[in-house]
């Protein structure tokens, strides 16, 4: 049995040292330590890593960190929701988001043309600039060809972006496919709809996209999942790995709980009942705010893998 140990501050402590100490303090800190070990093992074992996240995480300052992880080759496949795509593009074209508070006057914000995501604020003007940008992008895409899978379309958009902190840019540059199964579930989908009204032969093929997900791995590949939050992005990853024998490693980070029966709250234990994660898989569920837990875990992993010479900061 592992003993509970007191944690103490020391000057200059590294993130990896902090998380290692946390792993013997108790509660979710223990699971955080297990998550670090699991993610590091995925990379050491050359597993194909499926990284999933929801759009609210791109609203935060995690967006540039996600892009950096793609650049560092810590991600082989990314799966997200359409808000991530929209907000990545907004930030890439120079729009800023702001910190507000949870108890804001929401009616007053609406009257000022400000939208609230938790304690973060997005101006209507950001969506207006996004609309103008997308009209130009869709025209360029259509001039090139009239039919795309979602991943093909997002790669083409990524190649148009010139922002090192952009998820789309880094994914396109490093040949990491981005799957977005609910591509119409937002402003992006509305612009696709409007563009198609005048260009009836412009098709975004989501079925081909699903086929590409299935063929992104094989039964022989070792597969790892890092799922931040839940919803369609998480399920798309575990469904894709299920069809190829299940994941060998999985780390779920979420604020949702399992008692409602939701996919967002479903643990890695529950996934084993479906065969989405293999029976003997190294799998961890961490309950907590991803804006805190994920940077601690992943920066710890990067410290460890950098020390081992597996990754190098460029």
Could you read off the pLDDT of 150-191 as tens digits, one per residue? 999 999 999 999 999 999 999 999 999 999 999 999 999 999
Q: Count Cβ atoms within 10 A of the Cβ of residue 174 and give its class: 0-12 exposed, 13-18 middle, 19 or more buried.
A: middle
Among 155, 234, 276, 278, the active-site one is 276
Please report the domains of the chain, with CATH numbers, ordered by start residue.
47-97+126-291 (3.40.910.10)
Model pTM score: 0.96
314, pLDDT greater than 90: no
Predicted local distance difference test score (pLDDT) of residue 79: 98
Host H or E run for residue 278: strand 277-287
Kindly write down the DSSP assignment for every residue of 97-135, as one continuous string: -EE--TT--HHHHHHTTEEEETTEEEEHHHHHHHHHHHH
* Contact present, 88 and 168 (Cβ < 8 Å): yes
Tell me if residue 276 is catalytic. yes
DSSP state of 73: T
pLDDT digits (tens, 9 = 90+) for 99-127: 999 999 999 999 999 999 999 999 999 99
d(CA 86, CA 205): 19
């Amino acid at each position: 049995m592992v003993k509970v140990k007191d944690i103490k501050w020391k000057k200059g402590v590294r993130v990896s040292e902090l998380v290692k100490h946390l792993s013997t303090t108790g509660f979710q800190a223990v699971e955080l330590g297990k998550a670090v070990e699991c993610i590091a093992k995925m990379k050491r074992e050359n597993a194909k890593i499926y990284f999933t996240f929801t759009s609210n995480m791109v609203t935060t300052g995690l967006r540039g960190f996600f892009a950096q992880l793609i650049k560092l080759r810590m991600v082989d496949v990314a799966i997200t929701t359409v808000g991530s795509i929209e907000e990545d593009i907004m930030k890439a074209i120079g729009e800023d988001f702001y910190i507000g508070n949870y108890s804001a006057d929401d009616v007053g914000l609406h009257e000022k043309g400000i939208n609230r995501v938790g304690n973060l604020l997005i101006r209507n003007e950001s969506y207006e600039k996004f609309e103008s940008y997308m009209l130009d992008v869709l025209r360029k895409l259509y001039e090139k060809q009239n039919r795309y899978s979602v991943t093909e379309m997002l790669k083409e958009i990524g190649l148009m972006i010139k922002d090192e902190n952009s998820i789309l840019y880094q994914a396109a540059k490093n040949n990491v496919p981005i799957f977005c199964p609910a591509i119409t579930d937002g402003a992006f989908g509305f612009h696709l709809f409007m563009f198609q009204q005048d260009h009836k032969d412009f098709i975004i093929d989501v079925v081909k996209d699903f086929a590409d997900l299935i063929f992104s791995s094989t039964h022989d590949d070792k597969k790892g999942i890092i799922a931040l939050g839940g919803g369609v992005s998480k399920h798309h990853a575990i469904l894709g790995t299920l069809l190829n024998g299940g994941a060998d490693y999985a780390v779920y980070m979420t604020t949702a709980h399992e008692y409602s029966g939701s996919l967002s709250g479903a643990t890695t234990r529950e996934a084993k009942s479906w065969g989405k994660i293999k029976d003997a898989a190294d799998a961890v569920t961490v309950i907590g705010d991803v804006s805190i837990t994920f940077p601690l875990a992943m920066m710890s992993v990067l410290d460890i893998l950098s020390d081992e010479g597996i990754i190098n900061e460029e």
